[in-house]
């Protein structure tokens, strides 16, 4: 059947998969039938709170069942959701709520109440804790109303807003439509052969782009999700046995997690034997490290390197690894070929088509733009006017690639954006936060790759008075999430300048290496 919105699609999934597992936890499971009941209840709650199609809600999502149901309830009504990190500083999350214009803030973990109350107060949001026994009862009339409203949701409606780091210090909210996601689901199901028999290890936090694959491709295929608690990600000797115990068949994570588990020897021969596919993306996976993983899993498990900016709905290209990829071990594996529903251009510095240059993506997975930010949308999203691509949308990724025999190879970034621990980070956002600290006059952050697999964020600050590095980092933690905190801060009286009067980043690199 052809669906024009996600709500109709998932309504059919819950009907056909009524008795199958939707969410699998260590101590209990949630069936699709139960999930549908919660979705209808939460949709009633949203309507009671005055939500209409096009409104935005925020969810402090800690991977409890009702948060997943709330995502579906929002889709059902054409309400846009944005997931926030409940552990991120209120200073940053308040910017996200301000940009999105969210009127309601939901959360599922009572332990976060103080921060959520502060956030709701700052942003003038109505705050609600998701509690099962407080859900409204759904009448026949209300159920019929939902079915009517569901039909009014068109494909261009914004499904979710995913926030990424912004160079001005203000996070950018990528607005992804129902139609974007429908195309993504269709590709993901076909490419990976997903069926209702699969069980996804939902490793990524729900505010992180990689989770889009688990939630949409997994659940819209009638497969089950096994939510992995945040605390397990730093406990390798508990994480791997947990994924084994839950009999997960699909793994999608950033390479950093896999490298960490391999380094700690938490993954070894015979482990994770139920996995049929291991997918990784969000940052480069050096082949010298990847070969170790490949040797363990090449018999019986497919390894797939994927690529895709948030602005183009999670994954845009994929490559199944084989022995050929390890004929030589330098550099990174190929990004593979772009998905069949993508067109692209590679532009050199003069804006001409080339085999080497900035990758520009075109097609139905290109998102609507940056929510409530027309200026930055205009900088990165272009409407093409040439006859062969007339009025198609193109996103300028900022990624420098090389094309060879139809495959793409990542070469670097054209701006000051990096990938660290799988997160896309604008170094300027960290710099903006540093100069907010009272003792800091000037700040520069560099990304120093220590070896093929690991890199460090290093901050340099100019201070006119003596400053303790540890205190700086503690103060910075109130402004930025953990993954943006520099591994080290170097305190100087003044930052070195080049002949043009700009901060000499190269000299700072030399200083750090000494």
The answer on pLDDT for 500 being more than 70 is no
Domain boundaries, given as residue ranges, for the chain? 1-176, 228-415, 425-513
Q: Let me know if the fold of 1-176 is the same as that of 425-513.
A: no
8 A C-beta contact, residue 359 and residue 344: yes
DSSP per residue over 226-242, as a string? EEPPGGGGG-HHHHHHH
What's the whole-number mean pLDDT along residues 150-162?
A: 97
The answer on pLDDT for 399 being more than 70 is yes
CATH superfamily of 228-415: ANL, N-terminal domain (3.40.50.12780)
Reported as a single tens digit per residue, the pLDDT across 76-89 is 999 999 999 999 99
Mean pLDDT of the chain: 93
The answer on pLDDT for 359 being more than 70 is yes
Whole-number pLDDT of residue 502:
67
Predicted model pTM: 0.89
How many percent of the chain have pLDDT more than 90?
77
- b (16+ CB within 10 A) / e for 376-409: bbeebbeebeeeeeeebbbbbbbbbbbbeeebbb
CA atoms within 13 A on the CB side of 407: 14
The answer on pLDDT for 58 being more than 70 is yes
The answer on pLDDT for 465 being more than 90 is no
pLDDT band at 18, cuts 50/70/90? Answer: very high
Reported as a single tens digit per residue, the pLDDT across 221-279 is 999 999 999 999 999 999 999 999 999 999 999 988 998 999 899 999 999 999 999 99
What's the whole-number mean pLDDT along residues 373-393?
A: 95
Q: Which helix (H) or strand (E) holds 13?
A: helix 6-16
Write down the residue that tokens 């069942």 correspond to: 65
Write down the CATH number for the domain with range 1-176: 3.40.50.980
Q: Which helix (H) or strand (E) holds 250?
A: strand 250-253
DSSP category for residue 137 = P
Q: Which of 165-169, 256-260, 372-376, 429-433 has the lowest average pLDDT? A: 165-169
The answer on pLDDT for 317 being more than 60 is yes
Q: Which of 116-120, 218-222, 254-258, 315-319 has the lowest average pLDDT? A: 254-258
**Burial group, residue 196, by CB count within 10 angstroms (0-12, 13-18, 19+):** middle
- The Cα–Cα gap between 359 and 341 comes to 16
In this structure, the number of other CB atoms found within 10 A of the CB of residue 302 comes to 16
pLDDT band at 335, cuts 50/70/90? Answer: very high
What's the whole-number mean pLDDT along residues 426-444?
A: 85
The answer on pLDDT for 452 being more than 70 is no
The answer on pLDDT for 91 being more than 60 is yes
Token pair of 347, please? 């532009």
How many percent of the chain have pLDDT more than 70?
97
Domain 425-513 has CATH 3.30.300.30: yes
Long-range contact set of residues 114-123: C-beta below 8 Å, sequence gap at least 24: 115/86, 115/90, 116/60, 116/86, 118/90, 119/84, 119/90, 119/93, 119/94, 122/90, 122/94, 122/97, 123/94, 123/97, 123/98
Write down the residue that tokens 């896309």 correspond to: 424
The answer on pLDDT for 453 being more than 60 is no
Q: Which of 234-238, 305-309, 483-487, 505-509 has the lowest average pLDDT? A: 505-509
The answer on pLDDT for 299 being more than 90 is yes
Backbone angles phi, psi at 384, to 5 degrees: -80, 150
8 A C-beta contact, residue 221 and residue 177: no
- The Cα–Cα gap between 329 and 117 comes to 51
Token pair of 177, please? 């439509």
- The Cα–Cα gap between 177 and 312 comes to 10
Backbone angles phi, psi at 213, to 5 degrees: -65, -50
459: β partners: 445, 489
End-to-end CA distance of the chain: 63
Whole-number pLDDT of residue 52:
96
306: β partners: 318
Whole-number pLDDT of residue 451:
61
8 A C-beta contact, residue 302 and residue 278: yes
Whole-number pLDDT of residue 398:
93
Whole-number pLDDT of residue 167:
63
pLDDT band at 496, cuts 50/70/90? Answer: confident
CA 45 to chain centre: 27
Give CA angle at 220 (318, 102), nearest 5°: 95
DSSP per residue over 32-83, as a string? HHHHHHHHHHHHHHHHHTT--TT-EEEEE--S-HHHHHHHHHHHHHT-EEEE
- The Cα–Cα gap between 313 and 174 comes to 9
What's the whole-number mean pLDDT along residues 310-325?
A: 97
- The Cα–Cα gap between 309 and 88 comes to 22
In this structure, the number of other CB atoms found within 10 A of the CB of residue 444 comes to 23
What's the whole-number mean pLDDT along residues 420-428?
A: 83
Report CA Rg, the chain.
23
- b (16+ CB within 10 A) / e for 16-45: ebeebbbbbeeeeebbbebbbebbbbbbbb
Reported as a single tens digit per residue, the pLDDT across 189-201 is 999 999 999 999 9
């Amino acid at each position: 059947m052809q669906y024009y919105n996600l709500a109709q699609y998932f309504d059919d999934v819950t009907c056909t998969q009524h008795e199958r597992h939707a969410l699998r936890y260590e101590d209990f499971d949630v069936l699709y039938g139960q999930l549908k009941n919660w979705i209808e209840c939460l949709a009633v709650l949203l309507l009671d709170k005055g939500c209409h199609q096009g409104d935005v809600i925020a969810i402090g999502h800690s991977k409890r069942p009702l948060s997943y149901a709330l995502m579906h309830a929002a889709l059902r009504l054409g309400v846009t959701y944005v997931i926030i990190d409940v552990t991120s500083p209120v200073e940053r999350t308040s910017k996200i709520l301000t940009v999105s214009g969210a009127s309601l803030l939901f959360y599922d973990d009572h332990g976060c109440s103080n921060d959520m109350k502060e956030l709701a107060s700052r942003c003038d949001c109505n705050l609600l804790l998701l509690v099962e026994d407080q859900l409204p009862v759904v009448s026949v009339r209300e159920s019929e109303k939902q079915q009517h409203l569901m039909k009014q949701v068109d494909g261009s409606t914004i499904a979710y807003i995913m926030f990424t780091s912004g160079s001005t210090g203000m996070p950018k909210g990528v607005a992804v439509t129902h139609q974007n996601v429908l195309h993504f689901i269709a590709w993901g199901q076909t490419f990976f052969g997903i069926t209702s028999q699969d069980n996804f290890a939902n490793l990524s936090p729900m505010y992180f782009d990689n989770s889009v694959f688990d939630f949409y491709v997994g659940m819209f295929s009638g497969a089950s999700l096994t939510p992995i608690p945040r605390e397990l990600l730093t406990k390798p000797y508990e994480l791997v046995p947990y994924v084994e115990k839950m009999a997960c068949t699909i793994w999608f994570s950033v390479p950093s997690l896999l490298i960490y588990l391999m380094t700690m020897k938490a993954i070894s021969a015979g482990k994770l034997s139920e996995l049929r596919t291991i997918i990784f993306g969000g940052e480069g996976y050096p082949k010298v490290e990847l070969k170790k993983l490949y040797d363990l899993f090449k018999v019986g498990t497919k390894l797939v390197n994927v690529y895709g900016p948030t602005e183009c709905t999670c994954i845009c290209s994929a490559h199944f690894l084989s022995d050929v990829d390890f004929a030589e071990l330098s550099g990174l594996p190929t990004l593979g070929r772009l998905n069949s529903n993508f067109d692209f251009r590679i532009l050199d510095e003069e804006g001409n088509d080339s085999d080497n240059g900035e990758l520009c993506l075109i097609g139905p997975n290109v998102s609507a733009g940056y929510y409530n930010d027309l200026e930055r949308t205009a900088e990165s999203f272009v409407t093409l006017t040439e006859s062969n691509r007339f009025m198609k949308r193109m996103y300028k990724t900022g990624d420098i690639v090389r094309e060879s025999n139809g495959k793409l190879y990542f070469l670097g970034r054209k701006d000051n954006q990096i990938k660290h621990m799988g997160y896309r980070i604008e170094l300027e956002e960290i710099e903006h936060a540093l100069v907010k600290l009272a003792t800091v006059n000037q700040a520069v952050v560099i990304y120093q790759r220590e070896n093929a697999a690991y890199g460090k964020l290093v901050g340099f600050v100019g201070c006119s008075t003596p400053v303790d590095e540890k205190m700086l980092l503690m103060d910075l933690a109130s402004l930025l999430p953990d993954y943006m905190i520099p591994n080290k801060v170097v305190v100087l009286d003044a930052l070195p300048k080049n002949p043009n009067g700009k901060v000499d980043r190269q000299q700072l690199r030399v200083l750090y290496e000494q």
